[in-house]
Chains A and B, each alone.
Chain A
Amino acid sequence: MTSSSPASLEKLVNSQSKFTKRIMELRLSGNLQPGVVTLLVLFFCIYASYRSGDFWSALNWQLLVQPLAEAGLVSLGMMFVIASGGIDLSVGAIVGVAAVTAGIAAQHKLPVQAIEAAALAAGMLCGAFNGLLIGVLRLSSILVTLGSMILFSGVALALSNGNSFAGFPDGLLWWNDAALLGIPVEFFLFLAIAAVAAVLLHYTLWGHYVIAIGSNRVAARYSGYPVALTLFGVYTLQGLLCGTTGILLVARLASARADMGQGLMLMAIAAVVLGGAPIVGGAASVIATLVGVAAFYIVQDGLLLLDVPPFVQYALTSAMLLVAVAAGNLLRGSREDRQ
């Protein structure tokens, strides 16, 4: 460190070009991670298509987009939750409650709309319960949703008595069967909801409040923002999206079980983080979340086609999360660099 004289060091430092400064700025703003992930996934796609002819086949992508859409919806909800400075561990359980509710409604031979409405309402109710405890009573989100996760999974089991439901009307299964231009209609629903989420996040007062609360909750209160109401909305929206996911899952699998949402919680958190959103909140981007969730499913699917054993796929996608976040951290530079 002390090898050169002070004067020459200063000269060296000052001679930094505009280009490196620009890169520095990007590094500091932390916007590189979705780009890096996209790039990695593209490389992976090229490799996968080179190794497996099926990778670009229409069938492959049709099979891919349905689970992607389901996890994507929960990830969008999780994006709002994480942006507001919280976390929601109960999403999988809420999906289970919604699915079972749909099952019960179908058993009572209710019309399709009523089945859907019941599932959505069940999801929203669960979300609102979380929102009440977190927003109004100001309890810690991770603790509340840890408790409510156990509670909701119990409720789902109680409602279904541990059984699985079948015999859903064709109108509900339409979500799985219908396709537009060869692409499952589920995927279009997902894109439409993502667009709505983007508008909510970037163009509405509510979206602004969510980000502000995540970035400094106390200051948000002193600024007169409706903190409790906004957070209540965040978790209720998450519940609603979980309900939607529940309906799509029921439609695709033509059955409903209490443990249907298992694994969705980890996937959703991972997707949001993979997209580069800080886990502490205060920032979010719908595009980045889409990149995060798509990266998971594309890589998983590619690994499948490359004949990588299923459990190794699971391990590798998890490793991808670690590598992406670590790389994002290194790119962003250490805290000392910032000062």
Chain B
Amino acid sequence: MTPLRSSASERLRLSIHRHETKLASLLLVLGIALAITAPRFFSSVNLALLARSMGVLLIISVGMLNVILAGGIDVSAGATLAVVSVVLVRLGNRGLPASVVLPIGLLTGATLGAVNAALIAELRIPPIVATLGTAGLFRGLLLEWTQGEWESSIPPWLNAIGSPRWGGLDASVLAAALTVLAATWILHRTQIGRALFRFGDSPIAAARIGISPRQPIYFAYISLGILTAIGAVFYAAQLGAVQGNAANGYELTVIAAVVLGGADILGGRGSLLGTFLGVLLLCSLQQALVLLHVATFWQNIATGLIVLLGVILSSAPRLHRKLLLQQSPSA
């Protein structure tokens, strides 16, 4: 029998060129820099704050990873987040119990995701165009519903969800951990998870082994819708107030995190570990800049630069391979 395991050196060679390794090194550099300039960053209080700030972004990013793996993109995630947040808070404030409101919220998220999927799979509208349209549609209808007014208080049960316990952590951290675990199982162990990779890699080849485009597209967008709804619970709970314009542009932060995590925007390649590291990097950077009392606009500049750096890093293996393996450009 030939050995099924690759040799240690081979594995080392592969892992060095993995995007996740580069991200981790980047995080390490950031960590060392912070340890020198702002040792307070590593205090348990601050780390708990960091974990809390990551929860919502990580949950929605996992959903976005599904969509990007399937070769799609969703710029309506911010609008979906706002819609579900407002639905939760409004219904809750009218006295409906959590056991009714939460399922309605999840259903809303799933429905909005299904609308996107239907436009893409049934009407064959390119994902960026379809979600651009639904972003405006969802947001417009939401603003009409709220008439631009704030929901300045949230129901007590929602407040309880968002309040820190367990040494400064809150339920969003637990939910994010569960999301990542569940996604790990789905992406790596189930037929639909693998179909996501296959369809995103090559829709034609997938069709030729009998994977219809509907299945992965619906799965990806509905899962993003549901995860966005879960994120919305904690988003509303942490903010304590919502309005129709909430989470404007949030989808771009989510996409930035996933892309920073090394997902291939053309589909078929990406990992949960990478996405986690991407979210961690973005959030630590924000947190550190806040800690260092840096003005908000410098946070934008730093985030933009880090995203660009991630893009350059993730396309480095392509350039690298071309040079190393001497592949002809036509191969």
Contact = CB atoms under 8 A, between A and B. Distances in A.
B315 interface: yes
| B contacts with A: majority SS | helix
A89 interface: yes
Contacts of B129: 269-270, 273, 279, 321, 325
Contacts of A326: 119, 123, 125
B295 to A, nearest CB: 8
A151 interface: yes
A319 B133 contact: yes
A154 B312 contact: no
B301 interface: yes
B70 interface: no
Contact of A318 (B128, B137, B296, B300): B137
Given A143-B265, A273-B129, A150 B307 contact: yes
A162 B297 contact: yes
Given A139-B311, A147-B256, A321-B133, A154 B125 contact: no
A311 interface: yes
B133 A322 contact: yes
What class of interface size applies to chain A in its complex with B? 35 or more
Nearest to A309: B144
Nearest to B141: A315
A280 interface: yes
A158 interface: yes
A218 interface: yes
Contact of A89 (B252, B296, B298, B305): B252
Contacts of A140: 265, 311, 315
A317 interface: yes
Contacts of A315: 136-141, 144
B252 A329 contact: no
A330 B123 CA distance: 8
A318 B301 contact: no
A216 to B, nearest CB: 13
B329 interface: yes
Contact of B143 (A269, A280, A314): A314
B156 interface: no
Contacts, number: 153
Interface in A214-229: 218, 221
Given A149-B252, A154-B303, A318-B140, A279 B315 contact: no
Nearest to B75: A266
Contacts of A161: 297
A133 interface: yes
B315 to A, nearest CB: 6
Interface in A285-339: 309, 311-319, 321-322, 325-326, 329-330, 334
B134 interface: yes
B135 interface: yes
A307 B125 CA distance: 31
A314 B139 contact: yes
B97 interface: no
A150 B135 contact: no
Interface string A129-148: 00001000111101110111
A147 B307 contact: yes
Contacts of A329: 123-125
B89 interface: no
Contacts of B265: 140, 142-143
Interface of A: 87, 89, 133, 137-140, 142-144, 146-158, 161-162, 218, 221, 266, 269-270, 273, 279-280, 309, 311-319, 321-322, 325-326, 329-330, 334
